């Protein structure tokens, strides 16, 4: 056990480091550690903000998907009604009507003959 102690003493004496040098080096390392911790804290805050933005975007995306599903369902419902409606006044009723209001009214006017 005396061998490592002797070799450590030899390293300390050959490098010429004093206790004051070690204290100064420890202080510099502590300053660097604190600066690195501050950077890590800043990066963690940015990461948390990015996670919040991602969650918000996912919520918006899911809302838009659901809205699109509902719109498609409504268009399908209108399509079923348009397909089942009998022709009026001998006009030709298209088998597949568009679900938009302006085109639906234009088709109704054409089928009535106005």
Helix ranges, 1-114 (H): 2-15, 19-84, 101-112
What pLDDT, on a 0 to 100 scale, did the predictor assign at position 48? Answer: 94
For the chain, the C-alpha Rg in angstroms (whole number) is: 39
**pLDDT-derived band at 38, boundaries 50, 70, 90:** very high
Stated pTM of the model: 0.43
For the cut 80, the answer to whether the pLDDT of residue 47 exceeds it is yes
pLDDT of residue 1: 45
């Amino acid at each position: 056990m005396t061998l490592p102690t002797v070799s450590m003493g030899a390293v300390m004496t050959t490098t010429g480091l004093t206790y004051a040098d070690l204290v100064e080096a420890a202080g510099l390392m502590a300053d660097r550690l604190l600066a690195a911790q501050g950077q890590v804290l800043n990066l963690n805050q940015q990461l948390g903000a990015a996670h919040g933005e991602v969650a918000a975007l996912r919520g918006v995306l899911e809302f838009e998907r659901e809205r699109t599903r509902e719109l498609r369902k409504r268009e399908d419902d209108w399509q079923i009604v348009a397909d089942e409606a009998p022709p009026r006044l001998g006009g030709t009723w298209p088998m597949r009507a568009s679900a938009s209001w302006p085109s639906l009214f234009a088709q109704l006017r054409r089928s009535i003959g106005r």
